[in-house]
Amino acid sequence: MRLRGVRSSRNVEDRRGRGGGGAAVGGLGIGGVLIVLAIGYFTGIDVTPLLGGGGAPQQQQTRELTQSEVQAGEFSGQVLATTEQVWTEIFPDAFGEPYEPPVLVLFSGVTQSPCGGASGATGPFYCPVDEKAYLDTEFFAFMRSELGAGGDFAQAYVIAHEVAHHVQNELGILPQVNAARQQTSEREANALTVRLELQADCLSGVWAQSVSGLLEPGDIDEALNAAQRIGDDYLARRAGRVPNPHSYTHGTSEQRQTWFSKGYQSGDPAACDTFGAESL
């Protein structure tokens, strides 16, 4: 993705450098930690207790960011700026309202949010209470090394997906779905969540179409590969489990790729009505 000359967004809150290190957690070792992080992110379960190890909490200390952290922060700010430009242009025409962008919180290890404690174990997420997206930039390394989803555009897709949840929140879709999930069975709640996530994938595709002038050969393939590697069925098999569609919360690899592609090919948010679709 060609980001040279692209400004960095001012809506970035960088909480990194406030402690934390690369040591193994809870005696798990780095491999075990990465597996636990994958379980937490892709099942929606906060696995922080599994990482605690029962020890006393460590006092956070200020530290300098590494060069890779600095680069990840600059990259994230630039990608966020492209989402701001895209949705500021598209949102009023598509929905008749001005677009108010979210804040992207960069953190390392753990932080706090109105939606609960945030940690690397929860993965990137959007909190509708404060309208902020939370990202531990170490997740990029995890995507590359553990999921085989490398590439800068795969990383940009992750940010665009969380911003898409903010778009859903601005439209009132997110609170409606959250309310509906509280009044139904777990199976039906999961099905609603899948539609919510696939719509965010589609809206990410709309963003990708709008920044096509910044794309390099292979960028869309990186995003599609990432979508494939974070499908519920793929992750279940990778974990040695038999895929169970009723437990899905993000959609299959094929569904995630299909809806991202639908948004990218159309460039139209109206094409992203996963809730009105008979078949996903």
Residue 194 vs residues 17, 23, 38, 259: alpha-carbon distances, Å: 35, 35, 18, 12
- Express each pLDDT in 186-219 by its tens digit: 999 999 999 999 999 999 999 999 999 999 999 9
The highest-confidence range among 16-25, 41-50, 238-247, by mean pLDDT, is 238-247
Answer yes or no: are the C-beta atoms of 6 and 78 closer than 8 Å: yes
Q: Which residues contact 7 (CB under 8 A, 6 or more apart)?
A: 78, 81
Map tokens 């200390």 to a residue.
61
**pTM reported for the whole predicted model:** 0.84
Around Cβ 37, how many Cβ atoms within 10 Å? Answer: 24
